[in-house]
Structure 1
Amino acid sequence: MAAPPLDVLRHYRALLAGDPRLSVALCWVAVTAPNLDVQGVADRLHGRPRTSLREAVSPWEVPPDGPPHPSVGLAPGGIGIFEQNGYLAASPACLSRVSAGGRACGVYWDVDGNNRLTFAAGGRIVLSVDAMEPEDRDGEVTAEVAPGVAALEGVVAADDEEWQQGALVAVELYTGVRLTSQWLGSPHPYAVLARPAPPGATAEPLDDPDTVLRRSFARAGASAQWAVIRELAGELRGRFGLGEYAVADDVLESLARRSAFSDADRLREELTWPLTGAWREREGEVPQEEDPRWRRMQAGRALTVLAGGPGHRAKGFDAFHHAGLALGAGWDEVRAGLLRLLG
């Protein structure tokens, strides 16, 4: 934990204080890569070449309805993406694509406090963090992301109501790209993302087994989706002894009734935090993939996402991602069974 650069923190304090809309909801992505221009970022964001860019207007003047309309424009230090009607641009799928050959960092939050700060580099997600609770994170704190994470932790420790400012500080420290009131007030072209990437999708080939599972799940009917959720939840409970936690059994009972378990606070306090704490007590003793506590924590996080039912959109990685980390080599067999349920 470290104090953030005071000038950077002061900048974002002033930015949020000067425009109350930013504190209500925000999606901001900063990209830095050699020889990458606005059109190239828009193409990667959409996942298609020659993405159409509409007329340049202020991000606040972009049509708020319909498919996502992220503004894309040159910003101090790189290229910025601002989405005022959603947060697709900050999803793992989009961040993976726009970070190829460089770095990208995205943050979003909404009126309910749902949020995610995600670091990407070289076409992959490096780390995903809950900005309100920085200890809740997935991935690796590499040397490159460490200054941003430490700054966020320092801001939240000093004043937990400044987590939004801390998240924006982290984005700038990682990418060198600054969000300013001048940028928000200037015209930038915007892209229309006609076919948003499915939740949890990545920049993997379309025939990648996990991508096939996600696509099949997204296309399936509600009955098949509930069947997959119940099957995977039961598998994780059994293999990792999650029945030790009463809330895990309550989740399975809800899923058996095809009903989402909506008490996110209880899940966090009675499942996610205890599992994370147990892992951190001995973190680093063995590689993560070989650490049963780490794999059990991933199983708990998968169950937490599954608890929301078919319509739940994960703040960070999806349930299949966490299940794959938990199960390791056993994921191939479980995934094949889930695909059979999907027909």
Structure 2
Amino acid sequence: MVEVSEDVVARLGASVAAVLPLIALRVPAGPAAGLGRLGAPDDPALRTAVRRRAAMADVAGARARGVLARPGPPRPVPRGVGVPRPMPAGPVAWAGSPTADGSALLAALGDVEPLLAERLLGALELLVDDLRLAGVPDLTACVEPAPAGQYVVTESAGQSEAVAAARTVDLLHPGVAELIESLCRRLAAHDQLREPLAVGEGDEASVAAGHGAAHLALAVATASAVLGQVPVPAFVDRPAAVVGLAVGAAVVLLREAPMPAAYESALLAKARADYLLPRHSVGSVTVSGHRFALAESGFPERADFGGNGLVSVVDGGVVIRTGVEHGPVTVIARVLAEPPASVEAAGWDEVVEVGWRASHGRASVRGPDGGGDPTLARITPPWPGDYRLRVHARGRDDVDDPWAESYELVVWQAPAAPEVVHRRTDRLGHRLRGEPEPDRAPRPEMAYRWLRRSTLSEAATVTVVTGAPVGQVLEAFGADPARPEPMRDIAADLAARGSIDPWVAVLDTGAAVVAVEYNGFQGSSEPVLRQASARGRAASLYWSVDADRRLSFAEDGQMLAAFEPPAAGDLPSTVAAALTGLDLHDVRDRNAKGLVAVERFTGRGLTADDMARIEAAGIGFRIVPHMPPLYPYDPRRVDARLGLDLAALDALPEARLRDAAWWAVAEAASHTDLAGDPDIAESVATRTLTGAALQRARRAQLEAGQERWLWLAAHRATNPDARAAVTDALDAARYAAGPHASVLLDRARAKIA
């Protein structure tokens, strides 16, 4: 690139300064603010206007990496992205991939979101087309002529017209992009542009927008001046090329330019205006040297944990001592408007409360090596003052299990006060405080830590049954013992159909039968457990990826208890004994604790060796599920959309209620493909589900659609509670009736009124 003299830059600066305010006024505030925030790297949440553009298609990238000899007529291309006619034979230059960009300007342009470039083009193209700069010096000597005998093919798919036009011009006139970038850099530092680029006081958005608009206007004027002296072919839209090159130059400038002096205070004012309490964040921090911190800036160099064994107050924040030496730990952060009502010590090993004084606020959770989870950045209030911090820690002694260790930080503003230790139970804390370590027996749930590394880690149901052979257990689940299938085939079939139909694998351990559902929950249902426990005991634990859990216990064909841990209310003595010593309020190892309870109740648990045997055998059985349980009438469960007069319902005799329930089934059937079906007709006539009808009803639960809802309506109509039979049957019948649901409900209301 030819060196441009200082005199030429000064003369160009005068021309640019004259039009810069006019151009800046035409830049939309939103895109301008997005560009203006590029120089604020400490606020990544604000940097949403520009991001890395997706890579081009493989074929385009391949063409960008070489020179292809391809004479012949060009293919049709959009306006402003094309080729000259007639086309001579010769080497081909391919524009369109970021890998082909040779200048910082074009590389920056590749980072711009296409919609942002298009919005700026739409706002500025008419202005650029009419823009005339007075006194522009001669720049033709600074631009290289187009190489002779070359033609250009450009790729426009997925990119802005402004971007494609800018790249095409730079290929036709190599060095144009570098010239514009160089001139913009020099002009941005020139005394003549100091006042036009200056931004006054205002809120964060207006200061950022003013900053971005001024630098983009500088780049637009400069690019317009250069391209005004370059022979741009007719097939390239000149305003699009100007805007494209200007946006790239503005991105380069704004990434490096310091933010306006008013921006820091404006950003702080915005942070304070937007800060709401309470706040709740969850993330992770990378620990190093057994430490992480909640600090306003940097990482504190020194910390003393000899006092409480967990937290050290330092200048600018606090440092927390971890059990793990290096690696990520989970951190929950809560910032409250007032002190917490109580101390939540259950489930935590150590809880310590300290005070510290913030010099400016906006403290972040960070590790010694820098960085940190954005969700834990600048979480404390953005103003100075005295604060209280309550640190909860668990799992610091479980150094062999990186998933066990986690922390909760609770922050609120409060006057300075002495340190308070609410709980001190882990061995690490005792060692740091110079105290004798407590002597504790290993927790029983530790035997199930292998579960986290198994195929059951995310979701499963484990059921253990005593007093029944494998065949009876499978029949209790609704599976056919005579129809085993390879587990791999079952999984492949379900994946191909996008289905979650239930299936189960079983293992006869001699003392008990262990049933495992990898992604099902039939073992937690009452019909399964009642039938399975007819001559012994059955217990199950179900858990899901949504952290749902259910512990269930049955004996001699009777349900004893079923609940989501921890249990509420009185439990039978046999169930209570199985839960003795298990802290179900503690979130750690809840699945493992549940399996301990199952093992205690049945006398047999699930081991890693059991799972290895089940998976080595690779045999599963498909389940035809039992019908759902029927519950007594409860007016709170009646869907208001049914529009029923509940007082009138209460006044009806049982015979009328039964008539209404089975009428709903028959009416719904008349609107489905099962109208006139003999099994439906027999069920309505006998008011029961028996034999073939029951089997069809069970199989219908594996499918979606009207048939499933019709059989559910028939099942619900058998409810011993007559009022529940009416309301629940109608609830299912309306779905079975499909588009005729409103007619069905209108007629049902008339029968009940």
Alpha-carbon offset, residue 228 of structure 1: 8.9
CA distance in 1 between counterparts of 2:490 and 2:729 reads 43
CA distance in 2 between counterparts of 1:166 and 1:230 reads 45
- 1:75 is matched with 509
- 8 Å CA contact retained: 1:63, 1:69: no
User: Aligned pair 1:332/2:721, yes or no?
Assistant: yes
Any idea what SS the aligned residue of 1:145 has? Answer: helix
CA distance in 1 between counterparts of 2:483 and 2:551 reads 28
CA distance in 2 between counterparts of 1:97 and 1:62 reads 25
Larger proportion of helix? 1
Output the amino acid matched with 1:134.
A
Output the amino acid matched with 2:721.
D
- 1:134 is matched with 567
CA distance in 2 between counterparts of 1:176 and 1:335 reads 39
User: Aligned pair 1:200/2:629, yes or no?
Assistant: yes
Aligned counterpart for 2:576 among listed residues 146, 151, 161: 146
Any idea what SS the aligned residue of 1:155 has? Answer: coil
Output the amino acid matched with 1:178.
G
- 8 Å CA contact retained: 1:51, 1:191: no
- 1:156 is matched with 584
Once the two structures are superposed, residues 175-197 of structure 1 have per-residue CA deviations (whole angstroms, 9 ceiling, x without a partner) of 0111111111114442111x312
Alpha-carbon offset, residue 101 of structure 1: 1.0
Cα RMSD of the aligned pairs, angstroms, is 3.7
- 8 Å CA contact retained: 1:120, 1:126: yes
Alpha-carbon offset, residue 83 of structure 1: 0.6
CA distance in 1 between counterparts of 2:545 and 2:600 reads 25
User: Aligned pair 1:184/2:615, yes or no?
Assistant: no
Alpha-carbon offset, residue 77 of structure 1: 3.4
- 8 Å CA contact retained: 2:534, 2:556: yes
User: Aligned pair 1:45/2:477, yes or no?
Assistant: yes
Q: 1:229 to 1:90 in 2, by over 3 A?
A: farther
- 2:246 is matched with none
Alpha-carbon offset, residue 41 of structure 1: 1.2
User: Aligned pair 1:174/2:604, yes or no?
Assistant: no
Q: How does 1:301-316 map to 2 (within 5 A)?
A: none
User: Aligned pair 1:63/2:491, yes or no?
Assistant: yes
Alpha-carbon offset, residue 32 of structure 1: 0.6
CA distance in 2 between counterparts of 1:120 and 1:229 reads 36
CA distance in 1 between counterparts of 2:612 and 2:644 reads 49
Output the amino acid matched with 2:590.
W
Gapped runs of 5+ residues in structure 1?
Answer: 202-209, 214-224, 239-320, 325-330
- 8 Å CA contact retained: 1:88, 1:196: yes
Once the two structures are superposed, residues 148-194 of structure 1 have per-residue CA deviations (whole angstroms, 9 ceiling, x without a partner) of 2334xx3334x32221111011000000111111111114442111x
Output the amino acid matched with 2:460.
L
Output the amino acid matched with 1:52.
R
- 8 Å CA contact retained: 1:101, 1:122: yes
Alpha-carbon offset, residue 97 of structure 1: 1.2
Once the two structures are superposed, residues 58-96 of structure 1 have per-residue CA deviations (whole angstroms, 9 ceiling, x without a partner) of xx8862625322001113731100011311222222111
CA distance in 1 between counterparts of 2:514 and 2:599 reads 11
- 2:525 is matched with 91
Output the amino acid matched with 1:338.
T
Once the two structures are superposed, residues 27-46 of structure 1 have per-residue CA deviations (whole angstroms, 9 ceiling, x without a partner) of 1000011xx22122112221
- 1:103 is matched with 537
- 8 Å CA contact retained: 2:456, 2:518: no
User: Aligned pair 1:12/2:448, yes or no?
Assistant: yes
CA distance in 2 between counterparts of 1:10 and 1:76 reads 24
Q: Which has the larger radius of gyration?
A: 2
Gapped runs of 5+ residues in structure 2?
Answer: 1-440, 651-715, 734-747, 749-753
- 8 Å CA contact retained: 2:480, 2:622: no
Output the amino acid matched with 1:170.
A
- 8 Å CA contact retained: 1:43, 1:51: no
Any idea what SS the aligned residue of 1:170 has? Answer: helix
Alpha-carbon offset, residue 340 of structure 1: 7.2
CA distance in 2 between counterparts of 1:229 and 1:103 reads 41
Q: 1:340 to 1:102 in 2, by over 3 A?
A: closer
Tell me the percent identity.
23
Aligned residues: 211
Any idea what SS the aligned residue of 2:571 has? Answer: coil
CA distance in 2 between counterparts of 1:335 and 1:116 reads 25
Q: How does 1:185-334 map to 2 (within 5 A)?
A: 185-186=612-613, 187-188=616-617, 189-193=619-623, 195-200=624-629, 332-334=721-723
- 8 Å CA contact retained: 2:465, 2:537: yes
CA distance in 2 between counterparts of 1:94 and 1:53 reads 19
CA distance in 1 between counterparts of 2:561 and 2:540 reads 11
